[in-house]
């Protein structure tokens, strides 16, 4: 079943306006297989659970990725068992650290000296040695990134200038083991060549610290940050260019493995937010289409002040005994059902035609969509969740 078939089936049932997240798990499997097969052997592909922790998505990925990256105790509980896990968060609760230790995660990120002290102390209480990665806030970053988390003052990681000091401290401890470095530094970067330069810089720095301190590290985690071009989806991140660049690093790896924590780039295209137009009207010479749903389901366009990629599925039937509102060949703003002018998913985009009863499909809604949204505002019903091509 495809999205269009779901829409037609739903319309025939006449059980209320359409509003759903539709996840194409077949598309997800195909995409991840392409990503995985293009990587060199020294790369390990992890999924960043924060992008979308839907259990059916996690279950689909469990047999395909090399592991999961989690940022909370709650995410840790959602990850399918027997998968490698990396745990990282800027503000860790003591209970979360203990849960990560007890779960036997592959490594815990150290984001501060306080983090290091707590992990050492808790590991000592449990009489274990906990593997750690030092998360580094680099002195410079990839300027093309949509959100910069490194190279600027942020709450993330250890200042690069303090890395030697925290390494000295860690090496004096008996219950932590430095396994490598974590460099997640950006979000939604669209420049493959710049991302490749970032990877090479991270590898160089990790090897420098390894050699200087005599470390027996095995992991260089470059995080994620590979983006989706919501503004022009036809011009996106050039994955083939990036993968080719990774292959060229093989001679420089020197026994290290490179971890990629992909989130948005892995799942965004596998999800769509599908919603029905309830009304079309004009105010101050501008057209508005009001939908069942909005930013309480899909907050990303409002948060980023952008028009989300969309397409229209026309529905020809109109059974109401009154005229059907609509508009033709003009710009339209697509707004939600909330009592706030900020509930806008598309602003001033040209359409050939849009009518009440038509369905709008918002593509690239498989990441940072439902779970970052303010669901309870106005207490509207939640959307349905539909899973296409699911293997039972």
Q: How far apart are CA 332 and CA 329, in angstroms?
A: 9
**DSSP code at position 372:** G
Longest dimension (CA), the chain: 80
Q: How far apart are CA 367 and CA 21, in angstroms?
A: 11
> Is 55 in contact with 76 (CB distance < 8 Å)?
no
Number of Cβ within 10 Å of residue 316's Cβ equals 7
Number of Cβ within 10 Å of residue 125's Cβ equals 10
Active-site hit among 19, 43, 202, 339: 339
The CA-based dihedral angle spanning residues 104, 256, 195, 193, taken in that order and rounded to the nearest 10 degrees: -150
Strand partners, 25: none
Strand partners, 361: 274, 311
User: What are 228's two structure tokens?
Assistant: 């989706």
Catalytic site residue 339? yes
Burial category of 238 from C-beta neighbours within 10 Å (exposed 0-12, middle 13-18, buried 19 and up): middle
Instruction: Return left, alpha or beta for 305; rule: phi > 0 is left, psi -120 to 50 is alpha, else beta.
Output: left
Helices in 159-238 by DSSP H: which ranges?
163-171, 192-213
- The DSSP bridge pattern shows strands 257-262 and 176-182 to be unpaired
> In Å, how far from its chain's centre is CA 37?
21
Residue positions annotated with a catalytic role: 339
């Amino acid at each position: 079943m495809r999205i269009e078939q779901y829409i037609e089936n739903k319309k025939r049932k006449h059980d209320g306006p359409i509003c759903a997240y539709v996840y194409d798990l077949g598309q997800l499997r195909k995409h991840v297989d392409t990503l995985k097969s293009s990587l060199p052997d020294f790369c390990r592909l992890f999924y960043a659970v924060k992008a979308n922790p839907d259990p059916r998505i996690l279950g689909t990925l469990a047999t395909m990725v090399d592991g999961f990256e989690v940022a909370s105790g709650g995410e840790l509980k959602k990850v399918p068992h027997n998968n490698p896990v990396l745990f990282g968060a800027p503000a860790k609760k003591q209970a979360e650290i203990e849960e990560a230790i007890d779960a036997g995660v592959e490594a815990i990120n150290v984001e501060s000296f306080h983090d290091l002290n707590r992990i050492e102390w808790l590991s000592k209480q449990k009489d274990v040695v906990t593997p750690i990665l030092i998360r580094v806030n680099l002195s410079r970053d990839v300027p093309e990134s949509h959100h910069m988390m490194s190279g600027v003052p942020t709450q993330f990681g250890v200042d690069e200038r303090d890395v030697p000091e925290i390494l000295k401290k860690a090496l004096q401890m008996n219950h932590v083991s430095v396994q490598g470095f974590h460099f997640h530094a950006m979000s939604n970067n669209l420049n493959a060549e710049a991302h490749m330069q970032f990877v090479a810089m991270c590898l160089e720095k990790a090897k420098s610290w390894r050699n200087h301190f005599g470390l027996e590290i095995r992991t260089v985690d470059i995080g994620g940050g590979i983006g989706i071009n919501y503004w022009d989806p036809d011009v996106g991140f050039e994955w083939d260019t990036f993968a080719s660049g990774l292959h060229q690093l093989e001679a420089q790896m020197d026994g290290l493995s490179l971890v990629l924590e992909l989130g948005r780039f892995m799942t965004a295209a596998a999800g769509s937010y599908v919603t029905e137009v309830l009304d079309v009207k004009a105010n101050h010479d501008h057209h508005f289409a009001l939908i069942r749903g909005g930013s309480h389901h899909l907050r990303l366009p409002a948060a980023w002040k952008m028009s989300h990629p969309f397409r229209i599925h026309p529905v020809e039937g109109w059974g109401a005994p009154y005229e059907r509102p609509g508009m033709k060949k003009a710009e339209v703003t697509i707004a939600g059902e909330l009592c706030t002018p900020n509930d806008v998913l598309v602003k001033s985009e040209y359409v050939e035609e849009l009518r009440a009863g038509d369905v709008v499909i918002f593509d690239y809604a498989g990441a940072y969509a439902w779970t970052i949204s303010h669901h309870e505002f106005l207490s509207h019903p939640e959307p349905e969740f539909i899973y296409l091509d699911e293997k039972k």
